[in-house]
Amino acid sequence: MAEPSTETIFNKPKIELHVHLDGAIRAETILDVAKRRGIKLNASSGKEMKHLCTVYQPVKMFAEFLAKFEEYMPVIAGDKEAIRRIAYEFVEDKSKEGVIYVEVRYSPHLLANTDVEPIPWKQEKGDVSPDDVVQLVNQGLAEGEKDFNIKARSILCCMRHMPNWSMKVVELCKKYKEDGVVGIDLAGDETINVRDQSCHRLAYEEAVRCGIHRTVHAGEMGPPSVVKEAVEVLKAERIGHGYNTLKDQVLYKQLREQNMHFETCPISSKLTGACDPDFTKHPLVTFRKDKVNYSLNTDDPLIFNSQLHVDYRTAHEYMGFTEEEFKRLNINSAKSSFLPEKEKKDLVNKLYEAYEMAMTLKFEQCLQ
């Protein structure tokens, strides 16, 4: 195993495909907004705020991790300025991590306080609808793109426990397709028993019909059957996490043959309890050996008190990742992005250039 180091590993342009906007807010911003809105918090400094939001040890129940959002979402949700600001600051933070293209996801409903039933986070009814949220995030991302020279697109999340929101989510994906929204996701706790999933299914059917790209959180906490359902019923083109796919070797083989993309999040997978905390036993070790198509992502950097380079360093130190593998996975990430074909090609070429790789047949072959 390589020596632990504090250096930034793979200090080259990177792609990130799986990160939650509401899990990537600056602690100082939460404090600032709370002060402006007169919301009382159990923290008086950025450090204290961060401490409140952070999961330090693997949680026993996934719900414990999701409960962290309750600490701060009431501060940001329903506030137009705050929503625009977190999107803008997110782009700045990603540019500092060396990300040149990011797809950021969030639930428009969880940031709204009107036209949403029930109104989340025990807020009073206000004037920010899910549609307004998407416009505000789009504005923040677009301003960030201009100022920080990075490309940022978004994915709108349906929530497992809220099937009645899903049709609106796909409608918003359609409405803002030309305005930075590139796909739909299904997030939340896969292990809960939602009696009627038909609304999620209908929303994904509509996404297929309208050419909206699809990813689904599956096989993070849930069994391989959730991954199978994501691919076969919801027609997912990428899988969020997907670690438990390895528990069904037939499915794993099938997905490899399909070149399915897995959006993996190493640090997250330890702290949510999704994977063995011993990183040398992580599913990514198998993914790497098998030359699977996957990306490395932060998921919720606020809650894991982390940054993208920590995921890279972990992969390097405990999972045998080399510079060549980092290049390969980033090129695969670009190829699996939800950008239109022409933009995707440009992005892939940008990486080839940055990595000083000629697009030789040999390398193309090694990507397969």
Q: Which residues are catalytic?
A: 220
Structure tokens belonging to residue 242: 């997907």
**Neighbouring residues of 366: CB distance < 8 A, sequence distance ≥ 6:** 328
Distance CA 205, CA 216 (A): 13
Q: Is residue 106 a contact residue for ligand NOS (CB under 6 A)?
A: yes
Enumerate long-range contacts of 172-176, CB under 8 Å, 24 or more apart.
172/108, 172/130, 172/131, 172/134, 173/207, 173/210, 173/212, 174/206, 174/210, 174/212, 175/131, 175/134, 176/134, 176/135, 176/138
Q: Is residue 105 a contact residue for ligand NOS (CB under 6 A)?
A: yes
Smallest gap from Cβ 6 to ligand NOS, in A, equals 26
Residue with smaller CB distance to ligand NOS, 70 or 353: 70
C-alpha distances in Å from residue 129, one per residue of 88, 119, 186: 19, 10, 20
* Burial bucket for residue 162 (CB in 10 Å: 0-12, 13-18, 19+): buried
Q: Is residue 270 a contact residue for ligand NOS (CB under 6 A)?
A: no
Judged by CB under 6 A, which of 10, 14, 22, 72 binds ligand NOS?
A: 22
Residue with smaller CB distance to ligand NOS, 13 or 120: 120
Q: Is residue 108 a contact residue for ligand NOS (CB under 6 A)?
A: no
Smallest gap from Cβ 348 to ligand NOS, in A, equals 27
Smallest gap from Cβ 1 to ligand NOS, in A, equals 27
Judged by CB under 6 A, which of 123, 215, 245, 268 binds ligand NOS?
A: 268
Q: Is residue 90 a contact residue for ligand NOS (CB under 6 A)?
A: no
Smallest gap from Cβ 151 to ligand NOS, in A, equals 20
Residues of this chain, 296-325, that bind ligand NOS according to CB under 6 A? 299-300
Sign of the four-CA dihedral 341, 183, 311, 321? negative
Residue with smaller CB distance to ligand NOS, 103 or 220: 220
Q: Is residue 218 a contact residue for ligand NOS (CB under 6 A)?
A: no
**Any idea which residue has 């414990």 for tokens?**
64
**Any idea which residue has 């999933």 for tokens?**
197
Phi, psi of 16 (to 5 degrees): -125, 125
Residue with smaller CB distance to ligand NOS, 145 or 299: 299
Judged by CB under 6 A, which of 217, 238, 261, 288 binds ligand NOS?
A: 217
Distance CA 357, CA 355 (A): 5
Smallest gap from Cβ 275 to ligand NOS, in A, equals 12
Binding site for ligand NOS (CB under 6 A): 20, 22-23, 66, 69, 105-107, 110, 157, 187-188, 217, 220, 268, 272, 299-300
